[in-house]
Chains A and B, each alone.
Chain A
Amino acid sequence: MTTGFDRRRLLQGSAAASALALAAPALVRSAAAQGGPIKIGFPVPLTGAFGAEANDQVRAAQLAVREFNEAGGFQGRQAELLVRDDKINPGEAASRTLELIEKDKVNFLVGGLSAAVTLSINNVARERGVIYNSISQSDAINEAKDFGRFTFHEALNPHMTAGAVGRYVFPKSGKRVAFLSADYAYGHEMMRGFKRAGEASGIEVVADIRHPIGASDYSAFLPRIAALKPDVLCLCNFGRDQVVSIQQATEFGLKRNTKLVAPVLLFTSRKAGGEAFDGVIGGTSYYWRLEDTVPSAKAFNDKFRAAYNGAVPSDYGALGYAGVRSVLEGVKAAGSVETDRVVAAMEGLKADFYKGPQSFRKCDHQLVQSVLIVESKSKGMKTPDDVFTILGTEGPDERFLRGCDELGHKA
């Protein structure tokens, strides 16, 4: 009875499958492409420890969509943002991505805010031939193993960020360097970026300590580091880990002899960490004070302020904007929403959306872009959001990326 029905369904499915087995991704794509609005799926962690960043990503992404629609859309078609909460859990993200592709039939995906989640979305999307523009930092997503033709990476990767910070800091602050890194891929990737940059300036690694991710206390690692009196302490961790480790390093008096350096200095982390961050140097993809020197940043900030009661966009928020814009500009340039054409158009995109020139590298679709070097401050602030001083900018240059062959891409 019931099992009979079950089996019939299976056989029906299989009949279709044998014909379509290999053409399946194309089928999904053409189904999504017909008429109606241009749908962009946007999975981000609205709940969980990165909710603040995710909400900012959504606001900025909506700005990009509105801008596109107000300019008339594409051939009369409007863009639509479908926001989903991935709860910063890769399993949830995979399910939500399946929902977006299978049920909502989205044309494109943009989003993600942790390496594990972004890799999960990417794996589901590339198997089904849907373009995914990742706005979360990861080195792995560039590598041939995870990369797919439909994968794009709008965010900086840890190698670029850590490298830029290292190249700035090591010559200035000294050669005896200690590392305190979160013991997971992302932490290791940042450390690798620092060490590569350090080879050129001949640094000496005096300690290389790995802490478990999500540790609530770092005091046990600090006496040993303090005793070594390094010139620079690189904190290769992220989010909450960064806030707590910087606060406790300050408490243990490390700042007396040592420059604290964090590769990815988040706007929101700085706000959560307060004055303990004073003097900490780090890298970021975007900081709103870039508007003092870059016109496109000024234009973006003004639009954001106008839309959201004078608030300024955060670093990850800005990526939400840029991620969506890259895809929509790709559509315009391609003159089509058809996946292959948009891929080709995005590969050729030379744009300046919000931070100066940017373009995707052909082999791994990594966005070549500038890295800002900022220093945290709590005095002489123009507004409560004025938390960093921009020390320098490393311009976009493919030299600062890992080589295509190193990533396993065949020429």
Chain B
Amino acid sequence: MSAPVPGHALAQGTPLAAPRPGSGRTGRWLALASRHRVALTLAFLVVFPWVAPYQALAVNILVLGLYALGFNLLFGYTGLLSFGHAAFLGGGAYGCGIAIVHYGLHPVLALVAGTLLATFIAAAMGVLAIRTRGIYFAMTTLALSMCVYYAFYRAEAFTGGENGLRGINVPVLTLPGFLLDLLDPVVKYYAVLAVVGGAVWLFSRLLSSPFGAALKAIRENEGRAQACGYDVRRMKLVAFVISGALCGLAGALQAIHLSIVPIETMHYATSGQAVMMALLGGMGTFFGPFIGAATFSLLQDGLSTLTSHWQLFVGAIFIAFVLFLPLGIWGEVLARLRRAGW
């Protein structure tokens, strides 16, 4: 009897998970869908608020989907497991919120400010963390993100500390030529979608670029990628920073959506949430993060309305997923379709 060695995939530089559903022989329909992945993703997101239980939740899912997407660039596509992404979500949220509350910046500029702050935090954390590998990388990002958490916690004059940052009120968004009433939840959803859609498009372009190919090469075999002449460490750092920027944009949108930034946004539990959403949806799949974010939020929301012991069921569902759907929901769907010859 020989049991396989647990968890050694990571140590040997092979992919974190079992064969990825996106790879291998792909049928005609899936190839077509893959070519139009941005349009298909957006089509889903355009319809989504009309099936979601309520619009505010739909906006949450949109934002969390972008957060999981950014995380997935690093985790699913580059093979780096980070436990520190809450620092970027929070950095984006605080950056945007502080720009509006303390400096009265236009919301669009505040989005930029938030994304920039997150990018800066990601660069600083990345330079340090990228020196480590595997589980040590995960732990380093966790520790550094908690240092960022406490720094923001203590900067009470700017961040509101434990009470959180309040007053990010953007009732009306003034754009050249027209006004958007952001107090109308439907308008707010599509305004956020416009930004998320842009980010999804950029993300897709990035994956199709030579840089995207290099990241996948690093994930498959870091040593070989190095031998092929890639500057692996630099590539990883760039991926880390872009991933942080995407998560920062998600955070900035969240700040405007909720009109507050809770300090919990930066806590490592929020980093864990990104991992969970990416795994639930299907890591390394384009659409998976949105499915993961939707499943995560809908499960919590639906179950917590039914029973105050919802955590028992959420926990059991996680266990069932790991045991029976290790590719994640979207990963499993893709795998089945491929098997069926689509």
Direct contact of A and B (CB under 8 A): yes
The 0/1 profile, CB within 8 Å of B marked 1, for residues 63-107 of chain A is 000000000000000000000110101110011001100110000
Which of B156, B183, B194, B304 contacts A10 (CB under 8 A)?
B194
A2 within 8 A of B: yes
Q: What residues on B are CB-neighbors of A185 within 8 Å?
A: 156, 160-163
Q: What residues on A are CB-neighbors of B160 within 8 Å?
A: 185
Which interface residue of A5, A47, A89, A91 has the most chain B CB atoms within 10 A? A91
Size of chain B's interface in residues, with CB distance under 8 A? Answer: 48
A94–B187 contact, CB under 8 A? no
Using A9-B190, A14-B180 as known contacts, say yes or no to A94 and B258 having CB atoms under 8 A apart: yes
A91–B265 contact, CB under 8 A? yes
**A14 to B263 CA separation, bound complex (whole angstroms):** 33
B123 within 8 A of A: no
Which of B42, B60, B181, B262 contacts A116 (CB under 8 A)?
B262
**A94 to B185 CA separation, bound complex (whole angstroms):** 13
B167–A123 contact, CB under 8 A? yes
Q: Is the interface of A mostly helix, strand, loop or mixed?
A: helix
**A151 to B316 CA separation, bound complex (whole angstroms):** 40
B127 within 8 A of A: no
A17–B166 contact, CB under 8 A? no
Q: What residues on B are CB-neighbors of A85 within 8 Å?
A: 304-305, 308
In the assembled complex, the CB of A404 is this many whole angstroms from the nearest CB of chain B, namely 20
Q: What residues on A are CB-neighbors of B60 within 8 Å?
A: 95
A2–B39 contact, CB under 8 A? yes
**Which residues of chain B in 182-198 are interfacial with respect to chain A, using CB atoms and an 8 Å cutoff?**
183-187, 190-191, 193-194, 197
**A46 to B180 CA separation, bound complex (whole angstroms):** 36
Which of B53, B179, B308 contacts A17 (CB under 8 A)?
B179
Q: What residues on A are CB-neighbors of B162 within 8 Å?
A: 115-116, 184-186, 213
**Which residues of chain B in 249-273 are interfacial with respect to chain A, using CB atoms and an 8 Å cutoff?**
254, 258-260, 262-265
Using A6-B194, A6-B197, A99-B56 as known contacts, say yes or no to A18 and B178 having CB atoms under 8 A apart: yes
Which of A11, A47, A91, A213 contacts B258 (CB under 8 A)?
A91
Q: What residues on B are CB-neighbors of A59 within 8 Å?
A: none
Q: What residues on B are CB-neighbors of A25 within 8 Å?
A: 183
A367 within 8 A of B: no
B1 within 8 A of A: no
The 0/1 profile, CB within 8 Å of B marked 1, for residues 237-250 of chain A is 00000000000000
A222 within 8 A of B: no
In the assembled complex, the CB of B160 is this many whole angstroms from the nearest CB of chain A, namely 8
A102–B56 contact, CB under 8 A? yes
A226 within 8 A of B: no
The 0/1 profile, CB within 8 Å of B marked 1, for residues 17-58 of chain A is 110111011001000000000000000001100010001000
Which of B43, B161, B166, B178 contacts A120 (CB under 8 A)?
B166
**11 A-B Cβ contacts within 8 A?**
A10-B187, A13-B180, A16-B187, A17-B187, A21-B172, A24-B183, A85-B305, A91-B265, A124-B258, A127-B183, A185-B163
Q: 18 new A-B pairs (CB below 8 Å) besides A95-B57, A116-B162?
A: A3-B42, A6-B46, A6-B197, A11-B178, A13-B186, A13-B187, A13-B191, A16-B184, A18-B179, A21-B172, A99-B54, A116-B262, A120-B164, A123-B167, A124-B258, A146-B166, A184-B161, A185-B156
Chain B residues close to A by CB (< 8 Å): 39, 42-43, 46, 53-57, 60, 156, 160-164, 166-167, 169, 171-172, 178-181, 183-187, 190-191, 193-194, 197, 254, 258-260, 262-265, 304-305, 308, 310-311
Enumerate the 8 nearest inter-chain pairs by beta-carbon distance, A residue then B residue, closest first: A17-B181, A13-B187, A184-B162, A98-B56, A90-B262, A103-B54, A94-B258, A14-B178
